[in-house]
Amino acid sequence: MPHITVQMYPGRDEKIKKNLAEKLAEVASRELGREIEHFSVSIEDVPQDEWKEKVYDKVADPANKNVFVKPGYTM
């Protein structure tokens, strides 16, 4: 049962978040060849002043082999 987590700055409304979550689940369903009901998606708002510590430092770490698309920006 795959779960997708999205972390982003606050500010998007529930409609945008729901639309994004549904589209991510659809793409994952197609790519993994599983029915969409097997997928769940959560969205976590991370304040900008906490982004580096809570997200960037972890995903940009070269030793983190779980992140397949690294950020194209630096902090």
For 70, counting Cβ atoms within 10 Å of its Cβ (0-12 exposed, 13-18 middle, 19+ buried), the class is exposed
Helix, strand, coil abundance in the chain, percent, nearest 5: 45, 15, 40
Q: What is the pTM of this model?
A: 0.90
Catalytic residue list: 2
User: Is the pLDDT reported for residue 1 higher than 90?
Assistant: no
Largest CA-CA distance found in the chain, in angstroms, rounded = 38
Q: What is the pLDDT of residues 27-70, one digit of tens each?
A: 999 999 999 999 999 999 999 999 999 999 999 999 999 999 99
